[in-house]
Amino acid sequence: MTPDPATTLQRSSELTRFILAPNPGPMSLDGTNSYVLAAPGSPTVVVVDPGPDHEAHLLALARVAAVELVLITHRHADHTAGSSKLHQLTGAPVRAADPAHCHGGGVPLRDGEVVRAGGLELNVLATPGHTSDSVCFHLPGDGPEGSVLTGDTILGRGTTMLDFPDGTLGDYLATLDRLEALGPATVMPAHGPVLPSLAEVVRGYRTHRHERLAQIRETLDRLGRDASVRDVADAVYSDVGPSVRRAAEMSVAAQLHYLLEGPGNAGAQRGNGRV
């Protein structure tokens, strides 16, 4: 009998394992990697991104060991929908940057905070861009180069969409700079396979973003600065299918905002409630 991925614990690094959630799709790739973190011999574990509200998946996470803490990388439902249920199953508090996704007495995560649980120390890094509340978790003691749980900020394959206007390109480029400084740490993405070098992946992401910006500049030169998001997406993302068309248009909107209004206006735009 083939094992059910929704209940199968797989090793991803010295200090981490994961269970693949049964929610594959154009945006979630094979599904959400729900990570289980613990130091050797620790009686408790930390769960990062419980994923969807899928009973078998959540029960499997709850049964690995005593869950001490649940952490969320960002607000999207494919990461958070199961968090309240996992709290009910385990009693573990849920912590996220956004208070709306904190449960069971969990307090919001702070940039630069060191979280101690499961016998580990995790460094919290604010990494906005994909969304304004995105965070990554750095495990410096995980193997010779450490590891970083990157949520959707860095994926195991492909590139990340920017959930504009909540996520902005100016924020994202600054986030890439911050992550590159962590060097060759192992990448633990929320979707797709584990990757060997964060700095190398970041450099590829940055190159891709600047190539897209160049394409959009050329398109604006041809169509005019008042060209619509739809028209620009037709020109720059002509090869994408309908299942990811909305994501392509959001990325175009983020890039147009960056080129035409400048990265400094991102916070003001979020402040106007356009989330």
Each residue's pLDDT tens digit, 79-111: 999 999 999 999 999 999 999 999 999 999 999
3 state SS of 90? helix
Quote the mean pLDDT of the chain: 92
Question: How high is the pLDDT of residue 266?
Answer: 46
Average pLDDT over residues 234-258: 90
Provide the CB-side half-sphere exposure for 54 (13 A, CA): 24
Torsion of CA 242, 243, 246, 247, to 10 degrees: -130
Return the minimum-mean-pLDDT range out of 70-74, 117-121, 271-275. 271-275
Q: What is the pLDDT of residues 196-229, one digit of tens each?
A: 999 999 999 999 999 999 999 999 999 999 999 9
User: Which percentage of the chain shows pLDDT scores above 90?
Assistant: 85
CA distance 265 to 51: 32
At 238, is the pLDDT very low, low, confident or very high (cuts 50, 70, 90)? confident
Residue 5 CB burial class (10 angstroms; 0-12, 13-18, ≥19): middle
The predicted pLDDT at position 214 comes to 96
262 vs 238: CA distance, rounded Å: 25
Residue 257 structure tokens: 């905002």
pLDDT one-digit tens code per residue, 143-184 = 999 999 999 999 999 999 999 999 999 999 999 999 999 999
The stretch 245-253 carries a mean pLDDT of 91
Q: How far is CA 246 from the centre of its chain?
A: 18
Helix (H) and strand (E) counts in the chain = 8, 11
What does the DSSP 8-state code read for residue 100? G
User: Can you give the C-alpha Rg of the chain in angstroms?
Assistant: 19
pTM of the model: 0.92
